[in-house]
Amino acid sequence: MTDYVKVARRAELKPGTMKCVTLGRRRVLLVHAEDGIHAVDELCTHEDASLALGCIQGDRIKCPLHGSRFDLRTGEALDEPAEVPLAVHEVKLEGDDIFVRLGRTQ
């Protein structure tokens, strides 16, 4: 997928909340953090735990399994045991709609 795909409406993603969507075979997590809406792969790169069960901390998401945090803007793994970054996807807002374009797999 190289084009933007409509994945949600803004009303579905209040500040401080997350929503998991599927694009093709990819599970993508939409996160409405303090600095805006982000889209990242939904599984932690360390143990395949669902980040949708984690918590938002500013512009970061914390894995519920071992506590690794990831930067939502860059995907960078900030804490061990995770070392591999998350794939980050482009988000475009048009009116009340949220669109995502898949990025490359990390």
pLDDT in tens, 20-61: 999 989 999 999 999 999 999 999 999 989 999 999 999 999
Whether residue 106 is contained in a domain is answered as no
The pLDDT of residue 103:
82
pLDDT at 9 over 60: yes
The pLDDT of residue 106:
45
pLDDT at 72 over 50: yes
The pLDDT of residue 24:
87
N-term to C-term CA, the chain:
16
Q: What is the pTM of this model?
A: 0.92
In whole angstroms, how far apart are CA 32 and each of 8, 81, 99? 12, 25, 13
- Total structural domains within the chain: 1
CATH number at residue 44: 2.102.10.10
The domain of 56 spans 5-101
Whether residue 13 is contained in a domain is answered as yes
